[in-house]
Structure 1
Amino acid sequence: MLNTLPPPLRSLSDLAKEERGFTFAHFTCEHAWVIGNILRNALRTADCPALIHISLAHQTLFHAPSLPGTMPDHEKWTTRKKNTVLRWGHSTWYMSCQFDGDYKRFAEYHAMGGEEWGNYTIEGGGYPVFVKGVEGVVGAIVVVGVGVESEQAHGVVVKAVEEYRDLREGFKSPMRTMTVK
């Protein structure tokens, strides 16, 4: 499945338009649960151990491995991708394309010295969550995988959000239809 993903966009204006094209009316734990499970099922089908993390700026909404095989280091990479998305308001793939994958240029451009640049990454797989009427990015969708290329990580997140967008029409949450006595 990961090898059949179309190559991601590379133009910064096209990537920015793609990111803003997924602006949510609102974003809750229910959205994160559905998107997280779409990602988990896709990665399981592809037999790809990966860590999936969906959060608001300061609250984790979904965090799960797709399969056994993730490593403790994946937690650090998850944090780095989330930090990049939240700080610059773009996907980590956008940032990679902006600097042609060159970490040194990225760090120099943003005047990051010492160990600060170790808090960020330009590896694909971190994606912004935008909400209508809210200025800036409100959260991040992150995939860190064993053997998942930067382009594939971006592509699988884009595909999952597209699938979610297709599913959300007419979606009724079981929690919203439940009556409490």
Structure 2
Amino acid sequence: MSAQEAWPKLDDLLQEESESVLPALSEKIAYDLGRRATDAAWAEGLTVVVGIWRGDHQLFHSALPGSTQDNDEWLQRKGRTVRRFEHSSLYMGQLCRDANTTLSEKFLLPSSEYAAHGGAVPLRVEGAGVVGWMGVSGLPQLDDHRFVVRILREHLRG
């Protein structure tokens, strides 16, 4: 993040989440989202991993050239944060930054298992709430977050 770039406000992140509600999360929808993300990452030359989960079931995974097992580990840690709090991993990081604390200090969660860094977002379904999450790891955290949000918005626009 550049020195001039400000961290997003919690209200803005909540608004983002409320605008990204899916009609359903089927295997086909997860594949379409994951393929859209993978195609965009290939086209942009990004070295990321992409993952989509419904509950404990991983519906999609793609590792692009240059990504590593470390990216998968970060993705899992960010995803655990989304599953626990039903907010994006960036939202939880900002919540902690605003309170001048860390996820580990505030919620007694081990940093080896949870990461409050941008890149994983909840997948909400109309009438059902949060049913899963989508994430990307490999870029700076704000870029990871923005990439996922962009892909969700593109998918929702059709």
For normalisation by structure 1, the TM-score amounts to 0.78
8 A contact 1:92–1:123 mirrored in 2? yes
Query: Are 1:128 and 2:122 matched, yes or no?
Result: yes
Query: Are 1:55 and 2:53 matched, yes or no?
Result: yes
Q: Cα distance 1:74–1:31, how it changes in 2: closer, same or farther (>3 A)?
A: same
Give the share of equivalent positions with the same residue, in percent: 27
Q: What is the CA distance between 1:128 and its match in structure 2?
A: 0.4
8 A contact 1:101–1:122 mirrored in 2? no
Distance 2:102 2:76 in 1: 21
Distance 1:51 1:27 in 2: 20
Aligned to 2:135: 142
Give the aligned residue type for 2:133: A
Q: What is the CA distance between 1:121 and its match in structure 2?
A: 0.4
Gaps of 5+ in 2: none
Aligned to 2:157: 166
Deviating above 6 A after TM superposition, structure 1's stretches of 4 or more consecutive aligned residues are none
Counterparts of residues 1-181 of structure 1 (less than 5 Å): 10-65=8-63, 67-100=64-97, 105-112=102-109, 116-135=110-129, 137-145=130-138, 148-167=139-158
Q: How many residues align?
A: 155
CA RMSD of aligned residues (A): 2.2
Which entry has the higher C-alpha Rg, 1 or 2? 1
Secondary structure, aligned partner of 2:145: helix
Give the aligned residue type for 1:52: V
Q: What is the CA distance between 1:157 and its match in structure 2?
A: 0.6
Secondary structure, aligned partner of 1:138: strand
Distance 2:86 2:143 in 1: 20
Q: Cα distance 1:82–1:101, how it changes in 2: closer, same or farther (>3 A)?
A: farther
Greater strand share, structure number: 2
Q: Cα distance 1:17–1:48, how it changes in 2: closer, same or farther (>3 A)?
A: same
